[in-house]
Structure 1
Amino acid sequence: MSVSLLRHHILFKSLCTACLHPHPYRRYASQGALALASSTPEPTKETRLEGSSTAVNDHGEMGQPSNVPSQVDGMKPVKPSGDSAARRNPLEPTRVDKYLASIRAAGLEPTLDDIERCKPARRARPHSPQYADDYHNLVDSLCRSFSKDQLRQFTLLYKLDPIWTRSKRRKVEYAESIIEKQWGWPSLKEIERQRRDRTEVTEKSFHVNPSQLFLILGQDGADLLQLSMQYNVHISLTSDPLALRVEGLRGSLKQLSEHISLLKKDIVEEVVELPVKRPIRHDLLQRISRLANAYVENIGFKGKIRICAKEHSSLTTAKRLATRASSEVDDFKSPPLLSYTPPVVNRQPSVPVTASQQTYSVYPFLSPRSVPWTMNSGGTFRIRRVGEWLGIDATEDVQKTGGLAGGKGSFLTKSGQPCELVEALRRNASEEKQGYSRVFTASLGHMLITAPTPAQRSSIIPPLKGYFALPNILKWLESGTNKIEFVPSLPAPLLKSQPAEQKILHRLLYKKLPSLEDPVKVDSPQSSELASQGVIKFEMEIMRPTNKADPEMMMEDSVDTSIDSELTGNAEQFTNDYLGDDSQNLENHPSSIVSELQENIDEFSDTDSDLPVEVQCIQGEETTVDLLMPDRPMDVRFSVFNCRKIAQEHQPEDLRKYASNLHSFLNAAEPDVSQPRPPLTVCHDGDVYLLQSSHSIRQGFESLPTSFQADRPGNEVPLEAEPAPVISESVLDLESNQKLSICQVTCDNHTDEQSWSQFLKGCDVLSSVTFHSPSVETESDVDYLEQ
């Protein structure tokens, strides 16, 4: 018979009548055993051992009977009889229970070594599928091996945080606390949360106010872009309500939320009352905010502002710039304006008289340097003579007209009234006082017209279209719809000149605040022109050690200064200067004296001794008159300064303290010495002076050539008289980080006719040379100097 037939016969053989209902007998076997156990006496130890038909394993479970043979040769094991099964009391504790009870009775408790034996030697990676199985198996092992009280005792012995050792916790929670907090296994919940953070994309909105939004955006949105790249999220702005809508992974949003919360907590705020009780223009508020990296807004209309910043240094800088802007930008005050018209020279016979009539127009002007930050940047224009088609030059020929020194030209005021330059300067200047000296200064630059209203974008459309006679343009300027301002610049003859001597200066300029007892009110029409104004000039000169002089070093420094101050006039230089200087963060280019002064000091001195300095403080009254010269490439600003030196013991206490701190700071060997800041206001002789500018200056004394190139290339014009000395300055504004190039001609003895003639001759030389396009040879020379 085959094996399959035998299996079929065994499976389908008929049962006897005793096996038809086996379940009821098994179901009540335990009850019968209980009844039998209650009626029979307790057997002895030997009887119990002999009559026991089962064996107990280490866990207290019922094993295979010892007297029943195992299955041999494919036969079923023989079941124990009912009498032997009834002899075992199921309620009786097992041998394991008795062993554990004996341990407890002896006072033996498990130690940390016992639970440490349950710790696996290695585990799977947290993000692998095997990790969850290992984690659950370890929890089950601890729960089977120890009781709840024992696991809690282990948490106390491990000195876990009280939140994990409190009594009202489940047994599984104690085991998980030991595994996660003591053994360092990552939680399954944390792993699942991390998986969701890595995979799930969600969206969240962060509500902000205008000040918070400005500080989060940063300079031109650079900080917001950095946040988007750092956390790999997409950030957009919603206006109603004002909020940042962020879309990205869940984990990135959580990190970004923490970053924004910390940023909001770190914002410092201060309300400042300005010395001049009037609000600041909105376009200036934006520039101050950009320069100082702080949010500035007006509160009311009485000179109160609110400043919000991420750092106290930015808040202080914004406060100083706002105070400076409120006192510097006077829409109702401007220096007196004169216009210069050269004399009529002999015309060519072939040119008709009507063609030689001079007409002027307002042209767009592209400054080679960035305009002052207080000016309206919507567009700048300059008045120039209109060129003719018949060969008549649009610039003045100083050799033929004589220039300012010749005294043949005419001067007109805004109203068209004729006047003389010297009389205008003396009339507007204050009276000479005993002990005061009078210094005349001519600064070269351009008189620029700005748009009447601030514009977001620059425009080349002039505010006055067409060409007119000069008196008509002056009347248009007198109407006051447009403001004209002077911007200093370096003239063409000094682009490649080498200064004969250089000095390093730190200069503070303070201007007197108008008192309430002044007869001229702020809103009065008589104050349309700016009169004499009291000033205090504080200069600290960094002395050059004489024992370290090196002619070659002087030459290299002179060339560097010349190249740094060079005005190329091309678009690339304009873009670099305008965007590079003004858009830099104050943190990237700190408004400190170290960045300019210390660098320049190191170029001149390598000594280990204290840096020698010379401090002088000058007080006086300064008067300014602007001269518009549309027939020349440049204009001139004349100033008259009646001044006297203040002895050191009579200098303002704040300035003396600042000079001492600055000297200590420059000579300090420790890098962590705090930098002093100049005082915002000083008091002298009962008057209050407000800080107008804080500059770091590289000053050079120029010597003009004996001849200069006039209107046409190749036309060398010799000078009849030696001009006055010229001072050129490369200036860094430490408050706004703007760079300026200043060229000045000075006259100390205006009563001497020869000195005054040399003074005007220097103005003619510097203002009449045209900026020609550089030739190939000129470009190669500049490249050589730069190398």
Structure 2
Amino acid sequence: MSSPLLRTSRSLCSSCLRWRHHRLYVSHAALATSTFPKSSLQQTDTLSPSHAPEKAKSQKGFRAPSETKADQCTSLQSRNPLEPTRVDLYLASIHAAGLEPTLDDIERCRPNRHSSPESSKYAEEYNNLLDTLCRSFSKDQLRKFTELYQLDPIWTRSSRRKVEYAESIIEKQWNWPSLKELERRKRDRTEVVVKTFSVNPSQLFLILGKDGADLLQLSMQYNVHISLASNPLALRVEGLRGAMKQLTEHLSDMKKGIIDEIVELPSKQPIRQDLVQRISRLAGAYVENLGHKGKIRICAKDPEKMDIAKRLATRASTESQGSSSPLLCYLPTKPKLDHSVPPSFVPHTYSIYPFFSPRPLPWTTIKGGSFRVRRVADWLGAAATEDISKTGGLAGGQGKVVTKSEEPKDLEALLQSAPKTSGSDRLVTASFGHMVLASPSLTGHAMLNPPLKGNWILSKILKWLYTSNTPLMFVPSLPPTLLDTPPSNQKVLHRVLYRTLAESQSEKSLQQQLIKLELEFSMSDVASSRAGELEHSDSDRELAGDSVDIDYDTSSPLESLHDSTTFEQPSSNAKQTIPEVSVNVSEPTCLEGVESTLDVMMPDRPMDIQFAILDYTDLCAGAQPPVLVEYAKELRQFLTSQNGEAIQPQPPATFNFHGRTYFLQTSLSVRQAIEATQLPMGACEDLEQSVYARVITESLLDLESNQKSTSCQVMLDDKVGGQAWTQFLASCDHVTTVSFPAQNIKPDLSAS
């Protein structure tokens, strides 16, 4: 006799199923989890007349409850686990009868509402609903529901599990928040993890940014703690799991976006290591030497920084291989001693003093100490500065000019007797500044200890300079006599200067081929009249030599032009009206020539002089280099355009012209002022016999390195006649000494 458990597995006839299909289908969820009592089985059997014989047989074989329980345990222990359960058989019978569930059936399981996803009840409600769907429907039925709901094919593919189909219906169709996503977000908000990111030197440099500013920004943006591990090189990051994922994506995208390029320098020589670091800081790109044949590797975040690094590297390479100017030293004549000065203090002694410039030194300067040779002041009366009223100065012709080997030279003969190129004009200028001795530092820090300690006679110092080959550099600056002088006839220029490079070390010459392009900017009458109110204060402050950091960042490359268009802020009661400024750009002037320079060290004066002789030829529009013509055209369009998103063009880094290769040396924004200063003739102090000399002062902004500087020049004017040379040297005496303050200023109307 079969047990009661086996009786429930017999098949029902089709007529009974059709008559009771709705009630049986609705109750199948309860049948899946409950056992069938004997009374229920007997009641079910009475509903079907066709099963009467089997019912009688079952009643005939009825046993005691204890025996039935024992038979059930024996049946459960002996049942094959691979055989289908009663629920499976029941659902299979429904399927055999052609009774498939519809969307209305599964929608009956959908709750009307759910708790807040942030509450603890939501997880319980979600799991209960998921359990109900999995127990009520088979895998194929749930998959069929996803297709009927027209979910994305990614959620209806046949390879998914049953619970995944149920989750897709709950989340994608019924729009319940994903429980897994909520748990993940909770872990991201609360769980702290530590992760290490491996980096190479170039990646680390670009991640750090200037002085670590970019790394600090990352730490603040993602609220993580970042430290550096040196061996191996890596970033150790500690923070919340969610922030760590975002930071990982950011670093991965940044590494993929780094561009890498190998550049061959024109000098075929590696760049100094201190210059490599400065170029990297100025350009915001990682630069390193590759070998000793003038190849460098540049890594940058974007093409703009890559281009800046290339230009700075080329400029540093050409300047280091450029021609060096010969050095002369001016020795003034010994003045007649007063009776109060003992003769034991003669001759004068000199020493190498630390040099501190009001402006940053050029970025190509050797990193270390900067020094200048100065005369030591005597205790009993003799000052440390030459008195040109007693010595006569350069214009008096009583002193002498010697080389480092103490060979006397005639300054006028050196400047006037230089061979002149046929068909060209000659321009002789004197620039004022300081001859600086650059002493490299082993530690890379600035130092105050001079390379030659103690007080020495000048011949001893000249001999040391001759034998030690200490590098000297002329640094232009504004003389103290013009600091309080209001500028006049000010104009704004854009100047681009190109020079050639000797093909070999043996071919270096004192002369260099150059091409100079200049464009002058002017404003409309409305803007210029308004800006004229601030011209004196702005220009005076600009030319006064206020200290500016070498990494000065400007809002616009042509900052000088924008400075001259600054307007006063109106009062709070007045209506603020800013006039429109229209910029007029002149036709470019271009000249080609040969330049030679001569440095004159003056340890008895506050400043030194650099003389320059330029034999040049003006190039008309049709004879100018085509690349410069195109650059001037694009720059004019940029300055006159009203489009605020226009990109400023960059001058070409190199080009060929007339069989020569020219390299960009400087790209400057210039504010130029021409001063007419009253100067005495030679050693004469009578102002009635004095003349007016033209002094050109310039405030310069290097558009490549964003470094500011000032310069002061005096030009030799051949129109004066025979007194031109004397007046030229007298102007040099006046500017390089502090004995004579600047006299009354007379505007130079002819230069406007």
CA-CA distance at 1:254 after TM superposition: 2.6
Instruction: Map 1:25-44 to 2 at 5 A.
Output: 30=4
| Cα distance change, pair 401–115 in 1 and its aligned pair in 2 (3 A) | farther
Q: Does 1:686 align with 2:686?
A: no
Aligned to 1:72: none
Any conservation in 2 of the 1:356–1:392 contact (CA below 8 Å)? no
CA-CA distance at 1:121 after TM superposition: 4.5
Q: Does 1:366 align with 2:356?
A: yes
CA distance in structure 1 between the partners assigned to 2:203 and 2:740 by the alignment:
47
Aligned to 1:531: 510
CA distance in structure 2 between the partners assigned to 1:56 and 1:337 by the alignment:
110
* Selected match of 1:540 from 516, 519, 541: 519
| Cα distance change, pair 439–141 in 1 and its aligned pair in 2 (3 A) | same
Q: Does 1:441 align with 2:429?
A: yes
* Selected match of 2:254 from 248, 255, 263: 263
Q: Does 1:328 align with 2:301?
A: no
* Selected match of 1:507 from 483, 495, 498: 495
Any conservation in 1 of the 2:29–2:136 contact (CA below 8 Å)? no
Give % identity: 48
Aligned to 2:66: none
Q: Does 1:110 align with 2:102?
A: yes
Any conservation in 1 of the 2:678–2:692 contact (CA below 8 Å)? no
SS in structure 2 of the partner of residue 514 of structure 1: coil
CA-CA distance at 1:593 after TM superposition: 3.9
CA distance in structure 2 between the partners assigned to 1:380 and 1:31 by the alignment:
105
Aligned to 2:192: 201
Aligned to 2:573: none
Letter in 2 for 1:537: K
Any conservation in 1 of the 2:260–2:298 contact (CA below 8 Å)? yes
CA-CA distance at 1:490 after TM superposition: 1.1
CA-CA distance at 1:538 after TM superposition: 0.3
> Which deviates further from its counterpart, 608-617 or 291-300?
608-617
Instruction: Map 1:205-224 to 2 at 5 A.
Output: 205-224=196-215
Instruction: Map 1:418-437 to 2 at 5 A.
Output: 418-427=408-417, 429=418, 431-437=419-425
CA distance in structure 2 between the partners assigned to 1:547 and 1:201 by the alignment:
62
> Which deviates further from its counterpart, 501-510 or 668-677?
668-677
Aligned to 1:21: none
Letter in 2 for 1:352: P
Gaps of 5+ in 2: 21-25, 41-54, 63-71, 73-83, 569-577, 742-752
Aligned to 1:728: 697
CA-CA distance at 1:718 after TM superposition: 5.6
| Cα distance change, pair 396–255 in 1 and its aligned pair in 2 (3 A) | same
CA distance in structure 1 between the partners assigned to 2:710 and 2:5 by the alignment:
113
CA distance in structure 2 between the partners assigned to 1:491 and 1:514 by the alignment:
33
- Provide, for residues 414-457 of structure 1, a one-character-per-residue CA deviation record: whole Å limited to 9, x for no partner: 11111122122235x4x223331111111111111111456421
> Which deviates further from its counterpart, 602-611 or 129-138?
602-611
CA distance in structure 2 between the partners assigned to 1:342 and 1:271 by the alignment:
53
CA distance in structure 2 between the partners assigned to 1:126 and 1:411 by the alignment:
91
CA distance in structure 2 between the partners assigned to 1:34 and 1:603 by the alignment:
99
CA-CA distance at 1:624 after TM superposition: 0.6
| Cα distance change, pair 105–495 in 1 and its aligned pair in 2 (3 A) | same
Letter in 2 for 1:385: R
Any conservation in 2 of the 1:724–1:747 contact (CA below 8 Å)? no
| Cα distance change, pair 114–704 in 1 and its aligned pair in 2 (3 A) | farther
| Cα distance change, pair 203–607 in 1 and its aligned pair in 2 (3 A) | closer
> Which deviates further from its counterpart, 671-680 or 378-387?
671-680
Aligned to 1:227: 218
* Selected match of 2:539 from 538, 549, 561: 561
Aligned to 1:650: 623
- Provide, for residues 100-137 of structure 1, a one-character-per-residue CA deviation record: whole Å limited to 9, x for no partner: 9599747x7523x6645644454334443222212101
- Provide, for residues 467-521 of structure 1, a one-character-per-residue CA deviation record: whole Å limited to 9, x for no partner: 1111211111112442110111111122222211111111000102335xxxxx4
CA distance in structure 2 between the partners assigned to 1:565 and 1:28 by the alignment:
115
Instruction: Map 1:71-150 to 2 at 5 A.
Output: 105=98, 109-111=101-103, 115=106, 118-150=109-141
CA-CA distance at 1:366 after TM superposition: 1.1
Q: Does 1:752 align with 2:721?
A: yes
Letter in 2 for 1:565: L
* Selected match of 2:668 from 671, 692, 695: 695
* Selected match of 1:677 from 644, 650, 653: 650
Instruction: Map 1:496-645 to 2 at 5 A.
Output: 496-515=484-503, 521-523=504-506, 527=508, 531-545=510-524, 550=529, 553-567=531-545, 573=547, 577=548, 580-582=549-551, 584=552, 589=554, 593-597=557-561, 600=564, 611-645=584-618
SS in structure 2 of the partner of residue 468 of structure 1: coil
Under a length normalisation based on structure 2, what TM-score does the superposition of the two structures give? Answer: 0.82
| Cα distance change, pair 760–629 in 1 and its aligned pair in 2 (3 A) | same
Under a length normalisation based on structure 1, what TM-score does the superposition of the two structures give? Answer: 0.78
Gaps of 5+ in 1: 1-26, 50-54, 67-81, 516-520, 711-715, 773-787
Any conservation in 2 of the 1:747–1:755 contact (CA below 8 Å)? yes
CA distance in structure 2 between the partners assigned to 1:104 and 1:367 by the alignment:
101
CA distance in structure 2 between the partners assigned to 1:416 and 1:314 by the alignment:
48
Letter in 1 for 2:221: Q
SS in structure 2 of the partner of residue 379 of structure 1: strand
Instruction: Map 1:13-412 to 2 at 5 A.
Output: 30=4, 59=30, 105=98, 109-111=101-103, 115=106, 118-330=109-321, 333-412=323-402
